[in-house]
Amino acid sequence: MNEQDGQGRQERADAVDREMAAHLLPDAVVRTLSSWWETNAAAYADGTPGAHTVRYTPGRWAQITPWPEALAPASAGGNAAVSRAEVASAVPDALRREAFQEALVATCVWGKGKRGTPGGSGPATLHKILAFDGLDTALATAVTALREHGAPQAYAALHRQVPGLGPAFFTKFLYFTGIALPPARGPRALILDRVQSRRLRWMAAAVGRESRHDVDGSVAAWVWSDSNWSPHRYQVYLSFMHAAANQLAEGDSWPSGAAPDLLECALFTTSWETSG
């Protein structure tokens, strides 16, 4: 692709972003989320996703140190469970001790859950990440950037800085850190992973077709790829999600004043219809 083609594609991407910001969640998505809330209202009655619980197998993470006390001992047999609220309580304590790696482990184990197998992408990848000499410096820099500047700047501080530590991992770290240390300005950090990106890709493709900015969905597939999103894309994501959460709160089928991470949780855990 030559420079002119690249510029044209970026202009189309910017146009689709503006359309998404103007229209926010389509009616079909609002209906899907309303159904999700009707089913899950009792679990998330406080308007936060703190009860969102993940099951994991501690023994599969036996090679990982430091191991947070909030998690079941790695020597324990069978499965265990940990909720967002429990991780959100463990991370501030780790940050106070500047135990950045411990905080990262807690967020990664919760994020991977039972998908983590001893030689798989969870424990094996995390083991390599923890072996990186510059990890503490990178995490500390991101924490400072989050506290003093904001979530997009913290994202930029970690983007492509640690081998193996991609956005799907480190936005979980930023999300839980942001609960403990709210940013000085701007929206709070949210998790961005492949599932969330595919939700946004579907919505971007729909608005691109309707607006004629992206008739074939190629721009949506480009900007909302499965991984390695740019700091600019993360900023677009945060702006959209916070505005969409406000959109939902104005209706009758979503809790008033609900945190934007409840929307993130709902998009992640709901069944998703992509037809029509």
User: What are the pLDDT digits (tens) for 16-65?
Assistant: 999 999 999 999 999 999 999 999 999 999 999 999 999 999 999 999 99
Note whether 223 and 147 are same-domain residues: no
Note whether 201 and 102 are same-domain residues: no
pLDDT at 4: 54
* Single residue among 180, 215, 241 that ends a domain in this structure: 180
Q: Long-range contact list for 229-235, CB < 8 A, 24+ apart?
A: 229/167, 229/192, 229/197, 230/159, 231/152, 231/155, 231/156, 231/159, 234/151, 234/152, 234/155, 234/167, 234/171, 234/192, 235/152, 235/155
Note whether 108 and 7 are same-domain residues: no
Confidence class for position 275, pLDDT limits 50, 70, 90: very low
User: What are the pLDDT digits (tens) for 134-159?
Assistant: 999 999 999 999 999 999 999 999 99
Note whether 75 and 12 are same-domain residues: no
Residue 187, in any domain of the structure: no
Residue-range definition of the domain harbouring residue 60: 53-180
Residue 258, in any domain of the structure: yes
* Single residue among 180, 209, 234 that ends a domain in this structure: 180
Note whether 59 and 35 are same-domain residues: no
Note whether 88 and 176 are same-domain residues: yes
Helix (H) or strand (E) holding 206: helix 194-211
Quick one: average pLDDT of 222-235?
96
Residue 152, in any domain of the structure: yes
Note whether 217 and 243 are same-domain residues: yes
Residue 275, in any domain of the structure: no
Residue 27, in any domain of the structure: yes
Note whether 64 and 33 are same-domain residues: no
Q: Minimal CA–CA distance to 165: which of 132, 141, 120?
A: 132
Separation of alpha carbons 61 and 156, rounded Å: 29
Note whether 86 and 201 are same-domain residues: no
* Single residue among 158, 180, 202 that ends a domain in this structure: 180
Confidence class for position 1, pLDDT limits 50, 70, 90: low
Residue 274, in any domain of the structure: no
Residue 83, in any domain of the structure: yes
Res 238 pLDDT > 70 = yes
Domain count, the chain: 2
Residue 212, in any domain of the structure: yes
pLDDT at 3: 52
Confidence class for position 271, pLDDT limits 50, 70, 90: confident
Separation of alpha carbons 48 and 85, rounded Å: 9
Res 109 pLDDT > 70 = yes
Note whether 172 and 201 are same-domain residues: no
Note whether 86 and 161 are same-domain residues: yes
User: What are the pLDDT digits (tens) for 161-202?
Assistant: 999 999 999 999 999 999 999 888 899 999 999 999 999 999
Q: How far is CA 241 from CA 122, 237, 247, in A?
A: 27, 6, 10
Res 248 pLDDT > 90 = yes
pLDDT at 164: 95
Note whether 10 and 79 are same-domain residues: no
